[in-house]
Structure 1
Amino acid sequence: MRPWIKLAIEAGPLVVFFVVNGRDGLPELRNLWLPEGGTQMAEQGLFEATGAFMIATLVALVTGWVLERRLPVMPLVSGIFVVFFGGLTLVLADETFIKLKPTLVNTLFALILFGGLLTGRSLLKPLFGAAVQLTDQGWRKLTLRWAVFFVLLAVLNEIVWRNFTTDFWVSFKLFGIMPLTFLFAAAQTPLFLREQIEEPAAAEPPTPAD
């Protein structure tokens, strides 16, 4: 998948979530979805932002599929969680569900990667092996690092949503998690350089005899 499409799928819905929450929600969404007893959450804008987040996520996934005819596994799984936990948030008027979503998604990714390592498999290799060639040791190291990073993201999400305001948590998702992820990915460059398998040079054609 082209990098700009992958970035749009992952970051686009978060931008929508942040903007709608920052505008204290959208009245038309509030009138459409607000259940009885959900006034406080509507005043925060989180209820409407959750609905917009779900719609933006679905639009991003459909657009990615139309353009590329395939979807990355992680954004797809994350999108399923957004729709499920966002739906629970809207139906039950309880913001806890959408706030728990990043914790559960990152924990799931970490468990899958750790489980693969325990069974002798580096599960990042089938996902990214077509884009980069690494030694088996390189794939194991990369998989372990990402598994630990996903645990860190889950812990950070728990700390932030349980101890700070909703607006801070929403901002942290866009301006905290995204930059951290990009920085972590960039920090793996030395590993790629050390463990990358060089493709053999093409043989030169024989020189014709004079």
Structure 2
Amino acid sequence: MAKPINPIVKQVLELGPTIAFFLIYLRIRDDVFTFGGTEYTGFIVAAIVFVPILLVAMAILWKLTGELSRMQVFTAVMVIFFGGLTAWFNDERFFKMKTTIVYGLFAVLLGIGLMRGQSWLAYVMNDMMPMREEGWMILTRRLCAAFAVMAVANEIIWRTMSTDAWVKIETFAFPVALMAFLMWQFMALQPYLISDETTDDS
């Protein structure tokens, strides 16, 4: 069972690594670093440094709460994998593609569940927000579409816009858009929520 944690501390641990990446990038984006005879841009160094920062934050979160969500673990694996490819090939495109792969895989996984007539989202989140099956199916369809749109948007952005623009959108625009979308959906799906009173009556 998860242990209680101060919400502010939780937000800092979850969002802190991304903000740290953004600040580090701003500080060293115009610099070039040489390691082992190979030159690396500031973006690539910031991406590499982001990996241990994320792992430390997740370790602290796990220590404080006693658990990590499947989504957090999956995201960490993707960051490690694509961060490693970015460093190995000295190519920033791998780190930029990470966002496309993450959002795309979320869309695919939710889509597979929908084709099977199931909401795999409910399997992950039902303990946090009890809701009737019909509500979960609606939310899953909408979130599947949202992840697909964000995956396509990321591909268009990193291929057509500057690295500065991509970093800002990755750090702020995507998370804010996703959070706003989820808040909108949770408000719209209120009729499907299962309250304690409903459970007691039944």
2:45 — aligned with what? 48
Secondary structure of the 2:188 match is helix
Tell me which amino acid in the other structure corresponds to 2:33: R
Distance 1:169 1:35 in 2: 28
- Please tell me whether the aligned partners of residues 35 and 91 of structure 1 are also in contact (alpha carbons under 8 angstroms): no
Compared CA separation, residues 142 and 172, structure 1 to 2 (3 A): same
Shift of 1:25: 5.1
Matches for 1:22-33 after TM superposition, within 5 Å: 22-24=26-28, 30-31=33-34, 33=35
Distance 2:36 2:60 in 1: 28
Indicate which of 70, 80, 98 corresponds to 2:67: 70
Tell me which amino acid in the other structure corresponds to 1:22: L
Indicate which of 19, 24, 28 corresponds to 2:23: 19
- Work out which structure has the larger RCO, using CA pairs closer than 8 Å and 6 or more positions apart in sequence: 1
2:126 — aligned with what? 129
Shift of 1:9: 4.0
Which one has the largest radius of gyration? 1
Secondary structure of the 1:88 match is helix
Distance 1:197 1:108 in 2: 29
Distance 2:36 2:45 in 1: 8
Distance 2:62 2:89 in 1: 31
Secondary structure of the 1:132 match is coil
Shift of 1:154: 0.5
Distance 1:130 1:166 in 2: 39
Distance 1:74 1:35 in 2: 37
Indicate which of 149, 153, 167 corresponds to 1:152: 149
Q: Which runs of 5+ in 1 are unaligned?
A: 204-210
Shift of 1:100: 0.3
- Deviations along 1:145-186, one digit per CA (max 9) or x if unpaired, are 111111111011111100111111111111211111111111
Shift of 1:133: 1.6
Indicate which of 95, 99, 108 corresponds to 1:98: 95
Compared CA separation, residues 34 and 164, structure 1 to 2 (3 A): farther
Distance 2:81 2:135 in 1: 35
- Please tell me whether the aligned partners of residues 10 and 75 of structure 1 are also in contact (alpha carbons under 8 angstroms): no
TM (norm. structure 1) is 0.85
Q: How many residues align?
A: 196
Secondary structure of the 1:30 match is strand
